Amino acid sequence: MLTDRLQFSSHTLENGITIHQHAMDVPFLQISVIVPVGAASVLSSTTPERSYGLAHLLEHLCLVSSHSHPEPNAYSRLLTNAGGRWNAWTHDFYTEFFLTLPHTAVSTELLEGFLSHVFTPQFHSTAVAKEKLVIHEEAVTQNYYPGDNSVSHYKFTNWMQLASTNHAQVFGSTESFATIDTPELAALHSYYQSKATQIFLGGHLDDVLLQPLLENLTTTADTAPTSTFAPTWQNPEYRTETNAELTSPVLSWGGIFSATTLTECWGINFLLQLLTDPDYGTLNQWLRYEKSWSYGVYAFQTNQKDRFAWIIDIPLSTEKTAQQVHRQLHEQAAQVLQDSSLIKRVKQIELDRQCYELQTLTERMDTAIDTLTTFGSIPTETDYINWLTALDKTTLETLFTKFFTPDNTSTLLMIPSK
pLDDT score at 76? 98
CATH class of 9-215: alpha beta
Residue 4 CB-density burial (10 A; 0-12 exposed, 13-18 middle, 19+ buried): middle
Phi, psi of 382 (to 5 degrees): -65, -40
Structural domain spans, the chain: 9-215, 240-416
User: Are the C-beta atoms of 197 and 275 separated by less than 8 Å?
Assistant: no
Q: Is the alpha carbon torsion for 358, 361, 365, 366 positive or negative?
A: negative
Neighbours of 350 (CB within 10 A): 17
Per-residue confidence (pLDDT) for residue 64, from 0 to 100: 98
| Model pLDDT, residue 2 | 67
* pTM of the complete model beyond 0.85: yes
The sign of the CA dihedral 127, 366, 197, 210 is negative
Q: What is the mean pLDDT of each run of 10 residues along the chain (418 residues)?
A: 87 95 96 97 93 97 98 98 98 98 95 97 96 97 96 97 96 94 95 96 87 91 91 96 96 94 97 95 94 93 94 97 97 93 94 94 97 96 97 96 96 95
Determine the 3-state secondary structure of 311 from DSSP.
strand
CATH number belonging to the domain at 240-416, selected among 3.30.565.10, 3.40.50.300, 3.30.830.10, 2.40.128.260: 3.30.830.10
Query: Which burial class, exposed, middle or buried, applies to 341 when counting CB atoms under 10 A from its CB (0-12, 13-18, 19+)?
Result: exposed
- The region that residue 62 occupies, defined by phi over 0 for left and psi between -120 and 50 for alpha, beta otherwise, is alpha
Residue 257's H or E segment, with its range, is strand 250-257
Partners of 99 in the β-ladder: 31, 86
Distance CA 157, CA 166 (A): 9
